[in-house]
Amino acid sequence: MRLGRRRPFADLIARQLDLFVADNGDLLRRIEEAESLYREADRDGATQLWGDVVDLVEEGTELLADARDHYAWNQLGEDAQEEYIAAFNLAVAKRLPRFALEIENR
């Protein structure tokens, strides 16, 4: 019998991301709306609208990074922090890809 790869933080991170989505539904909708406006904009208006998208994505990335770091630094020992942070970032990339680009830099 072959056992799957051990992912000790998978369930925890899934719940944390569920909570982020539930608590930040308005932000996620605003990002979708801003992206839609950007896609529909003419060339002159697109630059400003893209800036709006970037600002909103940065806001969400900060919220995710704050939640990740708060848990890592307050609940885990040094040995587990790096593994948890890497698992969290990977889960964000899979589930909330618009935030993946910057999450590792925070």
pLDDT tens for the 106 residues of the chain, in order: 444 456 789 999 999 999 999 999 999 999 999 999 999 988 888 888 999 999 999 999 999 999 999 999 999 999 899 999 999 999 999 999 999 989 988 8
pLDDT of 54 reads 95
Rounded Cα distance between 97 and 86, Å, is 15
Rounded Cα distance between 72 and 44, Å, is 43
pLDDT of 6 reads 63
List Cα–Cα distances, 80 to 15, 55, 86, 100, in angstroms: 18, 32, 10, 21
**Residue spans per domain, the chain:** 25-103
pTM of the model: 0.87
pLDDT of 7 reads 79
